[in-house]
A = this chain, B = another copy of it.
Amino acid sequence: MVMGRPRSFDTDKALDEAMEVFWRHGYDGASLTMLTRAMGIKAPSLYAAFGSKEGLLRAALDRYALRRSEHMRYVLAGTSAREVAERFLNSIAESHTDPANPPGCLLVQGGLACGEGSENIPFELASRRALTETELRERFIRAQDDGDLAEASDPAALARFLSTVASGMGVLASSGADRDALREVARVSLSAFPDPSTRVSTKS
């Protein structure tokens, strides 16, 4: 039983708007004026609900992670390492060019380098990017145990490779590359995951 005046705005809707602003302008580039206008609330309401600009970003990142978690569930459900990689890269190509969102990836656009007073933002984003890499790595280790990833392969290296390509696709998308361009990058990247039907002995 909550007492007092009820909140007059939908927190999740407001977070979606804030997410878009951070996504499009980065943390430093997103001003409180932009944020409050997009969210349809005044500064004091924002601070009452999220504590600070950084707290708002964190809440938006949580919501972003929620969105992506269903994609990752589908990705990790691939039946082989290659299929996982294929699903991962193609879903990235789709989501990073989804016209419903700003182009690219919030975890990249959000801020790789920030100014004084925002020094921890890049770390925050990096740690969230690392989560995806970890999920992939663990999936590949399992794939190796299951035998659908060659014993000579390095699950950690493959996961890091995919994560890196995903970040690169975020950069590419942010500069206006279209979906086909990203799909092409995905296709080339899959060379690192030899198709069973054309398997060949890889040295190194």
Contact = CB atoms under 8 A, between A and B. Distances in A.
A192 interface: yes
Nearest to A160: B185
Interface in A170-204: 170-172, 174-176, 181, 184-185, 187-189, 191-192, 194, 198, 200-204
Copies in the complex: 2
A125 B157 CA distance: 29
Interface in A137-165: 154, 157-158, 160-161, 163-165
Interface in A7-54: 23-26, 28-31, 34
Please tell me the size bucket of the interface on A.
35 or more
A162 B81 CA distance: 22
Given A115-B31, A157-B188, A198-B203, A171 B167 contact: yes
B160 A26 contact: no
Contact of A168 (B123, B165, B192): B165
Interface of A: 23-26, 28-31, 34, 102, 104, 108-116, 118, 122-123, 125-126, 129-130, 154, 157-158, 160-161, 163-172, 174-176, 181, 184-185, 187-189, 191-192, 194, 198, 200-204
